[in-house]
Structure 1
């Protein structure tokens, strides 16, 4: 499972930030393996992680690690640079994207953020009016089921502040909700030869100047009721000199939704379906919170929580790469459960759901 992590590149990342400065006996590699083990095994306390890991000491040599100590792991969680794990995630994400890249297919990226409640456990955590905790920001490829970038911030950081830092790739369609309403960022996406689809805020004033013909109205769970090319109406000096299209649709539950996009080529149904696909990133957040261990933390300081969240994302990527490399078709949840049960078992990933082979030899009958 750990084979996709290039040890030479990992060592370069560690040396670049002097990641082993304070814990030379417990290296960054030891730390990474321990936290990935904690994620996949489901152990949610330092004592449980240490006990389970040390109970399999016969495999430490092959992993390139040694005996784990609770105090050492706790200290490393508090002071090891987060950038070591962040660079490892970026390398694995690029590897997964290369594996899943298909020529001629449209590129779509979903952008969203999810809160990480810390409650009363961490008094230092900021309050954003709803929760006290942190926030996980992600850019996600829905076709490849791969998060391409993640960042952990305080809970009071506005989503758009992180969204504006996302590198824009030409020819890509970015889908996000109304929390990412920022006109200058929309113009940057358009100027970069990329497209966006978002939900309109009620306070945005728009004026239709061209009604588009709607040839197909019904989609999966919705019906198109209007498709117009619009301009921004403002009393001030703000302008939005990009093509803008407003699509109104009625969902099955009767609610009306208004979408905005700079895409003038796709049909209204296709654009509405793109925005509907945004829920895939919500499912990613739910899956990670439920089935990887970021509900209970191995440390209560800011650095430890960031490291654990990044370890969870690295574990997720390793599972996705393993599934693709070994042509495993089962649900990600089933694969994660099987891996958790067989972490220290010598077993090929391709046959992880198969029973062990039966010895073909038969006992000789006595005559």
Structure 2
């Protein structure tokens, strides 16, 4: 209960946890707890309690939240896209740690860090995959370990750019949307007709020279879109050939939900 209070209340010390619980002793008694624990008791419990307990609590809570999300699915409320594919977002966040305290979390000379790799399911905005690695671990190495079901659409940052991985996902029937890197070396094989939709500049079919030189035939979509708010020209890359160009842009924009989820 103390650690749940810590998480929900964003407490940052044992003193803050115990003080907050002490101010709510009436509610604690309703939960079957006689009083708020002293700091020494909480410190001892944190040191000796097995981590598996917190894992069990997390998965029980996640299962309950997923059940609620599934029960609300298909009601139309909050549904932003017409397609029925499961939409996911993939991201990695560096979490800074004190190098003198966490001497195992090597990152920079004077800074320690770990990296949280997260896959967010947009049905309920709940995590479907999460792993913590060393801060220097590259995102793509972890991404390659994730198994996606055919038909899923995955939005991710350009930091995950790996042409071989893009081909593998395409062959597995997994769709993805990202931003095209400025230094990408490609050729245009088709200019698609644009609908009368504000903001769309180009919808092209392209291939990458790196793959062609390796004897791999795989084509992708390059979409130029002007953001109405900033006026910035954004270039998207995807392997989905039937989604409307505006929908591809909207899928990438929806990826912002994982930024909100994983960052304090």
Q: Do they fold alike, i.e. is TM over 0.5? A: yes
- Count residues in correspondence: 250
1:146 and 2:122 aligned: no
1:107 and 2:83 aligned: no
Q: How does 1:302-321 map to 2 (within 5 A)?
A: none
Equivalent of 1:116 in 95, 102, 114: 95
Q: CA deviation at 1:181?
A: 1.2
1:182 and 2:125 aligned: no
Please list the CA deviations of residues 7-62 of structure 1 after superposition, one character each: whole Å capped at 9, or x if unmatched. Answer: xxxxxxxxxxxxxxxxxxxxxxxxxx321111123332113323444662884684
Q: CA deviation at 1:245?
A: 1.0
Flag structure 1 segments of 5+ consecutive residues without an equivalent.
1-32, 290-367
Q: CA deviation at 1:275?
A: 0.9
Aligned to 1:266: 243
1:131 and 1:155 in contact (8 A); partners too: no
Q: CA deviation at 1:272?
A: 0.9
1:57 and 1:67 in contact (8 A); partners too: no
Aligned to 1:338: none
**Matches of 1:94 and 1:65, distance apart in 2:** 32
1:93 and 1:149 in contact (8 A); partners too: no
**Matches of 1:139 and 1:44, distance apart in 2:** 26
If the length of structure 2 is used for normalisation, what is the TM-score? 0.79
1:110 and 1:142 in contact (8 A); partners too: yes
Runs of 4 or more consecutive aligned structure 1 residues displaced over 6 Å after TM superposition = 64-67
Moved more, 274-283 or 64-73: 64-73
1:210 and 1:230 in contact (8 A); partners too: yes
Q: CA deviation at 1:129?
A: 8.8
Flag structure 2 segments of 5+ consecutive residues without an equivalent.
76-82
Please list the CA deviations of residues 178-218 of structure 1 after superposition, one character each: whole Å capped at 9, or x if unmatched. Answer: 11112232223222322111112233211111111111342
Q: 1:61 to 1:153 in 2, by over 3 A?
A: farther
Q: 1:93 to 1:158 in 2, by over 3 A?
A: farther
**Matches of 2:30 and 2:116, distance apart in 1:** 34
Q: CA deviation at 1:134?
A: 1.7
Aligned to 1:80: 51
**Matches of 1:131 and 1:100, distance apart in 2:** 43
Equivalent of 1:137 in 114, 117, 120: 117
Q: How does 1:164-313 map to 2 (within 5 A)?
A: 164-218=144-198, 223-234=199-210, 237-252=213-228, 253-286=230-263, 289=264
**Matches of 2:248 and 2:109, distance apart in 1:** 33
Q: 1:129 to 1:235 in 2, by over 3 A?
A: farther
Aligned to 2:78: none
Tell which structure's C-alpha radius of gyration is larger: 1
Moved more, 141-150 or 260-269: 141-150
Q: 1:236 to 1:54 in 2, by over 3 A?
A: same
1:126 and 2:94 aligned: no
Q: 1:58 to 1:135 in 2, by over 3 A?
A: same
